[in-house]
C-alpha cells in the first residue's frame, strides 16, 4: 500500500507568529497537499512558563487567514508528557542518561566548555560526578537529564550508516557526538525540544519534516534518538529562511512584525500566501532564491 505523505507545522506558542512562520507553514502544508497527503498542526507548549493560550489562538487565526487548513485534531505537547516520560525512563534504564545539576551560568563559566555546531557543548561536569554524591544531590537538587552521547552512540553500534535524507541537502551523515550531552529532560519541563519533537513526529506518523534550516543541526541529535528508541526516520526538507531586507533571520525577540500586525495594517492573508508561494516577499523582507 502506498504510504500517504504526512507533514506538520509545529510552532511554539511563546509569541506571535511572524512572516517566517507563514513561509514555513505554507511549505509544509503545500508539500502534503500536492501529494494528496496529510498536514498536521502540533502546538509545542511543553514550556509552561513561556507558552500562552492567547498565542495558541493566534496561531489558529493566523494560519486560517493564510488559507491553510490542517487535518485531524491539533496535538498539544502539554498533553503528551507521559509519552516523553516513558521515552526518558527507557533511556535511563539503559544507563544512557545522567542527572545534571549545572546552571546555565555554571556552563558559561566553565573554561572547558567547547563550542559545537549549535553553540556551547556541555563539558560533561555532572557525567563525572562520584555516584554517591550524585545520588545524594538527586534527592535534593533540581536537575535536568542529559544523554551520555558517547554511550548512546556505542549503544547503537556507532555512527556508521546513521544518516538522514534531506530533500535539499541530500544524504547527510549524522554527527551526534559533535553536539555532546544535550538535555533530554529539562529542569523546568518534563522533556526538551529534542526529545518531544522526535517522539511526537514518530507517534503522529510524520513522513516528511519540512522546517527551517535553523533546525538542521538539531537533526543530528534527533537521528540518534530515533535509532535509540527504534523510531522510523522521516525524510527532511530544511528550507532556507525568509529574512529582513538586510538578510537577518526573523525572530520574535528581535522585533519581527507579527502576522497579526500585518493583517491589522490591511495585509490580506490569502494575497500574502500567494505572494510567498510565488517566491516574492513583502517590502522590507527577502526570500531565499528558489
Residues lying near ligand GLU in the complex (CB under 6 A): 10-12, 44, 197, 211, 215
Least Å distance between CB 79 and ligand GLU?
A: 16
Identity of the residue, 25 or 97, whose beta carbon is nearer to ligand GLU in the bound complex: 25
Which of 158, 172, 222 has its CA nearest to residue 194? 222
Measured from the CB of residue 140, what is the shortest distance to ligand GLU in angstroms?
32
Give the span between the Cα atoms of 203 and 194, in whole angstroms: 14
- Say how many C-beta atoms besides its own lie within 10 A of residue 237's C-beta: 19
Task: CB nearer to ligand GLU: give 127 or 211.
Answer: 211
d(C-alpha 83, C-alpha 62), whole Å: 29
> Closest separation between CB of residue 115 and ligand GLU, Å?
22
Q: How far is the CB of 78 from ligand GLU (least distance, A)?
A: 13
Q: Which is nearer to ligand GLU, 121 or 250 (CB)?
A: 250
Helix (H) or strand (E) holding 277: helix 269-277
d(CA 227, CA 287): 35
Q: Between 44 and 181, name the residue whose CB sits nearer to ligand GLU.
A: 44
Cα separation of 28 and 209, whole Å? 8
Name which of 13 and 123 has its Cβ closer to ligand GLU. 13
Of 46 and 162, nearer to ligand GLU (C-beta) is 46
Question: Closest distance between ligand GLU and the C-beta of residue 11, in Å?
Answer: 5
Q: What is the full DSSP assignment across 197-246?
A: HHHHHHHTT--EEEEEGGGTTHHHHHHHHHHHHT----EEEEEPPPEETT
- What's the closest the beta carbon of residue 63 comes to ligand GLU, in angstroms? 14
User: Left (φ > 0), alpha (ψ -120 to 50) or beta: where does 225 sit?
Assistant: alpha
Amino acid at each position: 500500500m502506498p504510504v500517504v505523505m504526512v507533514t506538520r507545522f509545529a510552532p511554539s506558542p511563546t509569541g506571535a507568529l511572524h512572516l517566517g512562520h507563514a513561509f514555513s507553514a505554507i511549505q509544509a502544508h503545500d508539500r502534503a497537499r500536492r501529494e494528496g497527503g496529510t498536514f498536521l498542526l502540533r502546538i509545542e507548549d511543553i514550556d509552561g512558563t513561556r507558552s500562552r493560550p492567547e498565542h495558541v489562538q493566534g496561531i489558529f487565526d493566523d494560519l486560517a487567514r493564510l488559507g491553510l487548513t490542517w487535518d485531524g485534531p491539533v496535538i498539544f505537547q502539554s498533553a503528551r508528557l507521559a509519552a516523553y516520560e516513558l521515552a526518558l525512563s527507557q533511556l535511563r534504564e539503559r544507563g544512557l542518561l545522567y542527572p545534571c545539576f549545572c546552571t546555565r551560568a555554571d556552563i558559561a563559566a566553565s573554561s572547558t566548555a567547547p563550542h559545537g555546531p549549535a553553540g556551547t557543548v556541555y563539558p560533561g561536569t555532572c557525567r563525572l560526578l562520584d555516584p554517591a554524591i550524585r545520588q545524594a544531590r538527586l534527592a535534593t537538587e533540581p536537575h535536568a537529564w542529559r544523554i551520555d552521547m558517547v554511550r548512546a552512540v556505542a549503544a547503537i553500534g556507532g555512527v556508521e550508516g546513521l544518516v538522514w535524507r534531506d530533500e535539499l541537502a541530500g544524504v547527510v551523515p549524522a554527527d551526534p557526538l559533535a553536539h555532546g550531552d544535550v538535555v533530554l529532560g529539562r529542569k523546568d519541563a518534563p522533556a526538551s525540544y529534542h526529545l518531544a519533537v522526535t517522539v511526537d513526529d514518530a507517534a503522529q506518523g510524520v513522513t516528511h519534516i519540512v522546517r527551517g534550516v535553523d533546525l538542521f543541526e538539531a537533526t543530528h541529535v534527533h537521528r540518534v534518538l530515533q535509532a535509540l528508541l527504534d523510531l522510523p526516520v522521516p525524510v527532511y526538507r530544511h528550507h532556507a529562511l525568509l529574512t529582513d531586507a538586510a538578510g537577518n533571520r526573523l525572530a520574535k525577540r528581535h522585533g519581527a512584525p507579527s502576522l497579526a500586525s500585518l493583517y491589522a495594517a490591511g495585509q490580506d492573508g490569502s494575497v500574502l500566501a500567494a505572494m510567498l508561494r510565488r517566491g516574492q516577499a513583502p517590502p522590507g523582507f527577502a526570500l531565499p532564491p528558489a
